[in-house]
Amino acid sequence: MGLRRLCVAVVAMLLGGLLTVVTQGAAQAEVWHPRQEWLRQSTAGLFLHWGMFTAPKHLNCAEWERDVTGGGWTAGYWIDEARKLGASYVVLATFHSRLGYARPWPSQVPGSCATERDLLGELVRAGRAKGVKVVLYMTDDPQWHSEQGVQMLDSAAYSAYKGEQVDLTTREGFGKYSYDLFFEVMRNYDDLAGFWIDNDNEYWERNKLYEQIRQLRPTWLLNNNNEDTPIMDTVSNEQKTGMFPSYDYPAATFTPMPRLSEACYKLPNTGDWWYDGGSHAVDTRLNTGRYVTNAGSSIKSLMAETPMVNGRMPAQQEAYNDFMAQWVPPIRESIQGVEGAGYLYGGMQPGFWNDGAHGVITINPRTGKQYVHVVTRPRADFVRLRDNGYRVTSVRDLRTGEQLRISQSAGHLTIQGITKWDEYDTVFAVETSGQQGFHAGVKASATSSENGFPASNLTDGDFETYWDAAGAQPVSISLDLGRRRKAAFLAINQRESSPTHARVSFGRPEDSSRIKDYQLTASNDGRDWWHVRSGALPSARGTQFIDIGAQEARYLRLTVLNTWSGPQAPVYFNELRIDEIRVGHSYPRGLHGGTWEAEDAARSGSARSEFCAACSGTRQVTGLGGGERDAVTYRDVSVAAAGTYRLQLDLTAGEAFAVSVSVNGAPPLSVAVPKDRADVPDPTSIAVPLNAGSNTVRVFSAGRLGLDRISIGGLPQSTYTPKTTLTVQPHGVQWVAPGQQSVKITARLRFDADDQIDAVSLAPVLPAGWTLTGAPATRASMRLAGLLEGVWTATSPAGQDAGSVNIPVTASFQLLGSDRAVSGAVPVRTRPADRVFVREAEDSANQFGATGLTNCGQCSGGEKVRNIGGSADASVTFPNVTVPETRSYRLFVQYTVNGPRSFFVTVNGGTPVEIRVDGVGNTIPAVAEIPVALIAGANTIRFGNDTAGAPDLDRIAVG
């Protein structure tokens, strides 16, 4: 028997045996499995894109292999570079659609480039010698088969091998080919650690590929890119950007612990995933921040570097690796062998802290030691964060060994007097005596629950079970303490199954499913309820807290009025899920006092010190309602240099009043304080001038406010703008008829930061000659989740076409007295004379189903709609396609596509008409046209493909 036929027979025999034992039902997620343990203990991996199209590109496999070997490629170099990064595994992406489908191993299966030298085997052996695992990347995608103008897939050779005609350039044919490669690799490489699979192929799924991998190689891992496929061990979240801070990669992920997940990102700032011949910089600040914040969320950092043909890393990437080899070891215990804190492993609260500080917490599950990672340092010499009930006994700087002064009260830990800051991550090792202050035995019920996810899951102590609100909003959760008891705060862990802010990722709209506006009431008998507190929670990961003062009640009822998600992201809209809610009855207190407590300052008039459980030091000063005669005066507020500083006042406010501050006897500055609770402080900030050295700060009010404490920090950088969401409609270029035209514009500003902005104004800015109907929308101040909306009509000059203009819509405001602004725009264009209708695919007038918008530099308006096709709801519908008379028209469809695909176009609910198109590259628009019968007035046109992927859609026109 020939070698080829023998291999075919062996594969067939393996498949035949396996198919008798593989379960035919849908695969179930194995969230925990012993094979995953090595990856759970990992911090990072090194992702290597390297193949025939690594610059300089090779179109001949033998020539590429010759240059790889001749250039001195060695497997050990890659393993050593991975270890510098603290990476415990390498993913090799050579059988990649954009790199020539090269296989770095000798193969008996023809169809694409395969080397004679066993590069993969050498890498596996080198990794095994130094404790680094190797995972092999496999693609499902044949569409780039001739990107370079040369066919890289050999259908004839594979067809001869199989004894049947197989077209490798189709998804079905490529699925069959790559399916065989999986088995060849499993047969030949015992020490491989698994497959990193770039999306799914229908042939693989239909033929139970993954189930068979589980049977043949039960210790190997399976990783899928960008989606949570049940049978996979790991979810990889690819190249997320646009977060604030930019390094906070977990803010863009959607996989709750304990599901294994990766953050897959490029280390070079620019360029391709592979070496393209350029020398691209590596942003140390960005990438160390990603490394740390991922560790603080139990996410593995899969860092992509771009080796050259000879395997060497470009100089700037090699330099970054050398830096990491020195930077990580002093803090290794806080990064490796730890889990993210603030989630199911316990720990204090990560995220935004005082004075612009931002970071994460890691926790050692075995010792309970926690590590505070300050990635963005505060504009002050202290860090203040929620302690989540942990009684802190000591804090030291992990790099220097210095013991730090601390204070602890009101649910916060303050680390004081910090003078040494690491440029990228200041790490504090925190020792505690455990967690305290929470009620046990609390029972939960809810007005709505998804079947199988009951409210009892909220208080069962198990973060792997959760309550699902079944899409209801508002929805109420009742907490029964068993009897009348003291309650001071709620600690809420929401399901980390959505990103923390609205974004588009690979054309899929995403949004936060976390609680926004809430109300909290209490009762002793379950019938008569009193108001406790209302407000908004930030869209943030980790434990969130609602302080409620000193309540005595048996029942607490949390009513969630809405979430942060919007209807533009239907997968997340109204999808509220919560892992755990705990009721705290008291806060742990430290041994050291805080600084600048109100009760320690001088008081005059009716100002007096009172007990306040939720206040720092458990006291506040009240009686400030008589103006300057009732005041708190700090006589020694010292700063090193003269300038303007941020003064934060932690105030209690049973009613809405202004607070006034006089510095060194100067005329007072005032800022509004919204109504909240008289026994729960909230921060209010104001910019104040201070002299070098000692200053006197006098605080007073004309209303009933209480002062807990003050703190001094620097002002935000001029480049910082607090996070907002500005939604402007219509979205997309507006194509209007010749002559004078009017455009209705609506805008909605949502303030997403846990801060305050003042003097807020929202309005369009018109081009010369245009007129506006409607006044600017304004608000004196806005805080977290505040909204400002406006509606206007913009009209072009009389007797003229609208031409080509952009109408900016600008929200301007002040942050601590400094001007800031965010903007959107409505582009308006006069449609061509030979067109009776033009509309962008991304226009907000359209209905998008399960599709999504994405940027496209060469497309009309810079955007297009992608993810069309594959199901009935993955379609784009254009309503109100208006034409002047009933007759036949030409429909011009502008699209982008890579490979052969089809639209099915349905007009007014009629029979779908197929538009078949083909192309190379998915960035350059092309135009197809078909005849359509339209009626006078409004028509509806739908674009979809219920069974297969369709092209991306840029714009339509009727002529």
Give per-residue pLDDT as tens, 298-320.
Answer: 999 999 999 999 999 999 999 99
Write down the architecture of domain 36-327 according to CATH: Alpha-Beta Barrel (3.20)
Question: Is it the case that residue 693 has pLDDT exceeding 70?
Answer: yes
CA distance from start to end of the chain: 65
Percent of the chain exceeding pLDDT 70 equals 97
Mean pLDDT of 369-392: 97
What is the value of pTM for the model shown?
A: 0.93
Per-residue confidence (pLDDT) for residue 592, from 0 to 100: 57
Q: What is the mean pLDDT of residues 454-481?
A: 97
**pLDDT at residue number 920:** 79
How far apart CA 606 and CA 625 sit, in angstroms, is 8
Burial-class residue 773 by CB neighbours within 10 Å (0-12, 13-18, 19+): exposed
Q: Which CATH superfamily is domain 443-584 in?
A: Galactose-binding domain-like (2.60.120.260)
Q: Tens digit of pLDDT for each residue in 173-226?
A: 999 999 999 999 999 999 999 999 998 899 999 999 999 999 999 999 999 888
Residue 363, beta-bridge partner list? 339, 370
Q: Give percent of the chain above pLDDT 90.
A: 91
Q: Residue 590 — pLDDT band, cuts 50, 70, 90? A: confident
157 φ/ψ angles, rounded to the nearest 5 degrees: -65, -40
Q: How confident is the model at residue 922 (pLDDT cuts 50, 70, 90)?
A: confident
CA distances to 543, 807, 938 from 831, in Å? 52, 17, 18
Upper half-sphere CA count for residue 555 (Cβ side, 13 Å) = 20
Range in 112-116, 367-371, 568-572, 723-727 the model is least confident about? 568-572
What pLDDT is recorded for position 594? 62
Q: How confident is the model at residue 7 (pLDDT cuts 50, 70, 90)?
A: very low
Tokens 């198919």, located at residue: 19
Tell me the average pLDDT of the chain: 94
pLDDT at 5 over 90: no
Rounded Cα–Cα distance for residues 398 and 337 (Å) = 16
Question: What value, to the nearest 5°, has the Cα angle with vertex 871 and ends 954 and 453?
Answer: 120
Predicted local distance difference test score (pLDDT) of residue 501: 86
Buried-state track 422-451, b at ≥16 Cβ within 10 A, e below 16 = bebbbbbbbebeebebebeebebbbebbee
Confidence bin at 133 (pLDDT 50/70/90): very high
- For the cut 70, the answer to whether the pLDDT of residue 451 exceeds it is yes
Each residue of 233-270: pLDDT tens digit? Answer: 999 999 999 899 999 999 999 999 999 999 999 999 99
CATH class held by domain 598-713: mainly beta
The strand pair at 339-340 and 358-363 is best described as: antiparallel
Q: What is the pLDDT of residues 730-774, one digit of tens each?
A: 999 999 999 999 999 999 999 999 999 999 999 999 999 999 999
Q: What is the pLDDT of residue 29?
A: 62
- 3-state helix, strand, coil split of the chain in percent (to 5) is 15, 40, 45
Q: What is the DSSP letter of 219?
A: T
Structure-model confidence comparison of residues 940 and 8, the more confident one: 940
**Looking at the domain that runs over 339-435, which CATH code has it been given?**
2.60.40.1180
Residue type (1 letter), 305: E
Average the pLDDT over 272-277 and give the result. 97
Query: Which of 267, 282, 293, 330 is CA-nearest to residue 47?
Result: 267
What's the CA gap between 228 and 682, in Å, rounded? 39
Instruction: Give the DSSP letter string of 365-430.
Output: TTT--EEEEEEE--SSS-EEEE-TTEEEEEEEETTT--B-EEEEETTEEEEE------SS-EEEEE
| Segment 876-885 mean pLDDT | 98
User: Is the distance from CB of 380 to CB of 711 less than 8 angstroms?
Assistant: yes
Task: Tell me whether domains 443-584 and 598-713 share a fold.
Answer: yes
| Span 29-44, average pLDDT | 93
Domain ranges of the chain: 36-327, 339-435, 443-584, 598-713, 724-830, 837-958
Structure token pair of residue 781: 């101040």
Measured CA to CA, the distance from residue 47 to residue 85 in angstroms comes to 11
pLDDT at 15 over 60: no
Give the model's pLDDT for residue 18. Answer: 36
Residue owning tokens 């803010």? 251
Tens digit of each residue's pLDDT (9 = 90 or more) over 519-534: 999 999 999 999 999 9
Eight-class DSSP state of 305: E
Give pLDDT, residue 714. Answer: 94
**837-958 — its CATH code?**
2.60.120.260
Cα→Cα distances 741→524, 767, 842, 880, Å: 62, 14, 21, 18
Name the band, by pLDDT with cuts 50, 70 and 90, for residue 881. Answer: very high
pLDDT at 890: 98
Q: Which fold has domain 724-830?
A: Immunoglobulin-like (2.60.40)
Residues near 830 by beta carbon (within 8 Å), at least 6 away in sequence: 735, 736, 737, 738, 801, 802, 803, 804
Question: Looking at residue 9, what is its pLDDT?
Answer: 38
56 in helix, strand or coil?
Answer: coil
Q: Letter for the amino acid at 192?
A: L
The pLDDT score that the predictor gives to residue 503 is 84
Whether 370 shows a pLDDT value over 70: the answer reads yes
DSSP-based three-state secondary structure for 597? strand
User: Rounded to whole angstroms, what are the CA distances from 567 to 16, 502, 571, 849?
Assistant: 48, 11, 9, 11
Separation CA 640–CA 712 (nearest Å): 12
Q: Is the pLDDT of residue 612 over 50?
A: yes
The closest alpha carbon to 375, from 496, 287, 501, 305, belongs to: 287
